[in-house]
């Protein structure tokens, strides 16, 4: 196995005035599962293709283990790639597809058969080895593509949105299989997805990119609890974090008709920059409802906090998500709150909410950087 290092790796496409990937600095540990995530066009697939040798590196370097592979051809990098479209040969059987790279490399037939059968056993494909891809389901084809990578016994697996062609239920099932398989094999893996739920559930660490720039690389839990900036805060989490620009006031920030205590040093840091407002982030599960009308089981005491009008409710059984709107500093703002499954408010009800103490995130409105610890 091996580590993978992006050392200020940069890619500028011919005719482009701006890098597709700009000075990417990431160290992937031996046996680690790292997920690159971000919106379309953020540079995640380009980063993976640079590592694979399918894109030139215009500046910086890429290392696998101690070897500088920046300018090596793909075949000399000891990597195996799993693509979005599976890239199986339609005229070959599953066994031939899985063993083709070994055949080209001159491995003898007995060894090829042994490695293919071992991989098929791991992937539950033994009964399908004589079939051709057209006789397989999407999930089975994806497992064949995985098997083809496994038999090569590479130092690094590269996966480029391998689940995006599967239906929702199969995608959840297959991502669990890939994550457990990677842990069993212990092969260093770099995985690209635009789906942040996939990223959070699969990766040992997650790297978020935007416009070719690395925003944050951290464990899923730390990224959820301490997003580095407004972009990461709004991107990671489903539903996303609520981000509300609020005025700074004595003792905290003004949230509706309540003053909410936030980290004093965060407010001071914003004031030192000359900002009169900060952007407060609150996860849907971190709002407390102080009062409401037409909501079963909710208290109807004085209307503290921010008045939120309920537009839509998603009932999920154990809990529900309330999609509502509020007036904040004269502006219309959409908010999402999580409520208990037996505390579902009626459409049109008005709830008064305040952020839970100690569960707020404070960001500089001007720069987007995190201010709170």
pLDDT digits (tens, 9 = 90+) for 335-349: 999 999 888 898 999
173 or 221, which is more confident: 221
CA distance linking residue 216 with residue 213, whole number of Å: 9
For the chain, how far is it from start to end, CA to CA, in angstroms?
36
Q: What is the pLDDT of residue 250?
A: 80
User: Using one digit for the tens of pLDDT, what is the confidence trace for 85-114?
Assistant: 888 999 999 999 999 989 998 999 999 999
What average pLDDT does the segment 132-145 reach? 91
Q: Give the ranges where the chain is alpha helix by DSSP (H).
A: 44-52, 94-104, 109-122, 138-151, 168-185, 196-202, 220-225, 230-235, 264-272
- Nearest by Cα to 283 from 366, 353, 371: 353
What is the set of domains in the chain, with CATH numbers? 4-234 (3.40.50.300), 241-364 (no CATH)
* Helix, strand, coil fractions of the chain, as percent rounded to 5: 30, 35, 35
Q: Could you give the CA distance from residue 372 to residue 269 in angstroms, rounded to a whole number? A: 9
> CA of 258: how far to CAs of 265, 269, 280, 288, 299, in Å?
20, 22, 14, 13, 17
Give tens-digit pLDDT for 49-74: 999 999 999 999 999 999 999 999 99
Phi-psi group of 204: left, alpha or beta (phi > 0 → left; psi -120 to 50 → alpha; rest → beta): alpha
What is the three-class DSSP state of 323? strand
> DSSP code of 231?
H
**291 pLDDT band (50/70/90 cuts)?**
low
Residue 305 pLDDT class (50, 70, 90 cuts): confident
pTM of the model: 0.89
| Mean pLDDT over each residue of the chain, to the nearest integer | 90
């Amino acid at each position: 196995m091996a580590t993978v290092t992006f050392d200020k790796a940069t890619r500028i496409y011919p005719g482009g005035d701006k890098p597709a990937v700009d000075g990417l600095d990431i160290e992937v540990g031996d046996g680690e599962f790292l997920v690159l995530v971000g919106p379309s066009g953020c540079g995640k697939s380009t980063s993976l293709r640079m590592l694979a040798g399918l894109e030139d590196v215009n500046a910086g370097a890429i290392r696998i283990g101690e070897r500088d592979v920046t300018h090596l051809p793909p075949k000399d990098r000891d990597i195996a790639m799993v693509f979005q479209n599976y890239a199986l040969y339609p005229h070959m059987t599953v066994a031939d597809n899985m063993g083709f790279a070994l055949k080209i490399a001159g491995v003898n037939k007995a060894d090829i058969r042994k490695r293919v059968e071992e991989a098929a056993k791991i992937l539950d494909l033994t009964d399908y080895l004589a079939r051709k891809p057209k006789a397989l389901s999407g999930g089975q084809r994806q497992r064949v593509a995985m098997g083809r990578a496994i038999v090569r016994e590479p130092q690094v697996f590269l996966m480029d949105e391998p689940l995006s062609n599967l239906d929702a239920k199969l995608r959840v099932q297959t991502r669990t299989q890939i994550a457990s398989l990677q842990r069993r094999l212990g092969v260093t893996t770099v995985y690209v997805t635009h789906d942040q739920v996939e990223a959070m559930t699969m990766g040992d660490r997650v790297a978020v990119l935007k416009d070719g720039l690395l925003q944050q690389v951290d464990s899923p839990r730390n990224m959820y609890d301490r997003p580095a900036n407004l972009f990461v805060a709004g991107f990671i989490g489903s539903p996303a974090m609520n981000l509300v620009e609020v005025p700074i006031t004595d003792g905290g920030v003004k949230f509706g008709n309540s003053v909410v205590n936030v980290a004093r040093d965060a407010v001071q840091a914003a004031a030192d920059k000359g900002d009169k407002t900060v952007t407060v982030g609150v996860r849907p599960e971190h709002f407390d409802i102080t009062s409401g009308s037409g909501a079963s089981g909710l208290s109807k005491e004085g209307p503290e906090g921010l008045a939120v009008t309920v537009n839509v409710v998603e009932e999920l059984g154990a809990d529900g998500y309330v999609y509502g709107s509020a007036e904040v500093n004269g502006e219309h703002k959409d908010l999402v709150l999580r409520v208990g499954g037996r505390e579902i408010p009626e459409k049109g009800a008005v709830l008064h909410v305040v952020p839970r103490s100690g569960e707020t995130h404070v960001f500089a409105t001007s720069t987007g950087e995190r201010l709170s610890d």
